[in-house]
Amino acid sequence: MNYIEYKNRLKNLDLNNNKFTSLVGIGNSTPSTNWRVKDEVPQTIGFIIELLEALPTEKRLVLVHEKLKEKMG
């Protein structure tokens, strides 16, 4: 997956970069610093996005909300 596809797929999931990086536990600048420059997203990140896409919308929204809530303490 290239960087543009990554951004588009996040948008389709109603996620932005900050929410996604917090959800998966990586730095906010990692996508723009590393992935955009290389125009390549790691396969593990692509796999996480595929899993999120496979969830029904309601379940995905609840999962993301709960995980982000846990991270915020």
pTM above 0.85, yes or no: yes
Q: How far is CA 46 from CA 4, 9, 17, 20, 49, in A?
A: 12, 10, 14, 12, 5
Residue 73 scores a pLDDT above 80? no
* pLDDT interval class at 72 (50, 70, 90): confident
Give pLDDT tens digits for 7-50. Answer: 999 999 999 999 999 999 999 999 989 999 999 999 999 999 99
pLDDT computed for residue 71 by the predictor: 82
Give pLDDT tens digits for 45-58. Answer: 999 999 999 999 99
